[in-house]
Structure 1
């Protein structure tokens, strides 16, 4: 695929998606990273329209019913998250490269509606490295870690569905590879 404008990035928990995306944005401020909508309440320090677009259930329902979401999901059985279609389409129409950092199910939804997008899987250098990163961040209890690792196995097994796999062994190299795939470098 030659320099697709819409790139979808997926990877398992603790692989470093947020770090890679943040560094890519610093190197390439022209990249538009979508802001997800969510029905959950803002956490301290989160800004509407920056971290998430905070909406109520009725607004989320209306977006889904009108086709206003590229993808969406119910997460942890409690709150819905999704990618609003309009900002993505407006950025693409303006000629900006757009990056969606979403989960596996969301990527599958985007593939169904925008099959000519580029789908990139961010992978750890090894399963052991992923487990070490997850345990090392110390933000989840043992039960939550087990749940996240179970999901990570499913995601890793699906890596063959993607157009490219970028190994995040070194953040600078992973960012450079993602930028190259996006036609930025």
Structure 2
């Protein structure tokens, strides 16, 4: 649920776009969920997708499920801040709710890959915090994928191939963490978010406050 400005009348900090990326199976979804549960000031970005709805998923909660024609229209009307092809389907982040949240000083969590992160840079670089999660080993990554029990051997082979491609983009991220332990990794992600929130450039109120503090003569 989005908060109105009146809910935080003194908040003037600029919102963050927190990008959390990883190969499938490296813990991105789990860390994202735990981060949201532990920090009510973070809103999850809801992507539009052409992927069919899975059992248990809710439209406009998990994703905005659209057909190819609607996705094409959204691209033509410049309604996405980023979009990409992933495993045969298209995913995109609607622009309007992102801009609205930033104006209100809200932090938005993006569960996207390097393609989407790269597209955010031109328009939102000053708001971006990019974090990439690495698995402790490729063997452990494959074990986690198989432990899900949801994918065929063929799909797992394809996910492992894509994992190598995605990991090759690790250096494009500001922060890179090895997810050996979920709780430890969550602690590290939370520390990054807290530090980024304190950056001087994100606090528009500091300049007038300092001017008032030291007086006009200075």
TM-score (norm 1): 0.89
Q: Distance in 1 between matches of 2:61 and 2:82?
A: 19
Counterpart Cα distance in 2 of 1:180 and 1:60: 36
1:59-138 equivalences in 2 (<5 Å): 59-77=70-88, 79-116=89-126, 117-138=128-149
For 2:33, the equivalent position in structure 1 comes to 22
Between Structure 1 and Structure 2, which shows a larger proportion of helix residues? Answer: 2
- Give the RMSD, CA atoms, in angstroms: 1.9
Structure 1, unpaired ranges of 5+: none
Deviation, structure 1 residue 4: 6.7
CA distance in 2, matches of 1:153, 1:41: 26
| 1:10 pairs with one of 21, 29, 35 | 21
**Pair 1:54 & 2:77 matched:** no
Question: Structure 1, residues 43-83: CA drift from partner, whole Å, max 9, x if none?
Answer: 33321110111223333223212221111123333x32111
Distance change (3 Å), C-alpha of 1:48 and 1:73: same
Give the 3-state SS of the residue equivalent to 1:42 in structure 2. coil
- 1:149 is displaced (CA, Å) by 0.5
Contact kept in structure 2, 1:119 and 1:164, CA below 8 Å: yes
Tell me the TM-score normalised to structure 2 length: 0.76
Count of aligned pairs between the two proteins: 182
Structure 2 partner of 1:32: 43
Alignment deviations for residues 20-63 of structure 1 (CA, whole Å, 9 cap, x no partner): 01111110022011011012342333211101112233332232
Q: Is residue 88–residue 98 contact of structure 1 (8 Å, CA) maintained in 2?
A: yes
2:175 counterpart (143, 164, 172): 164
In structure 1, distance between residues paired with 2:151 and 2:67: 27
Change (3 A) 1:158 1:4: farther
What's the secondary structure of 2:62's corresponding residue? coil
Can you give the 5+ residue segments of structure 2 that lack an aligned partner in the other structure? 1-13, 198-218
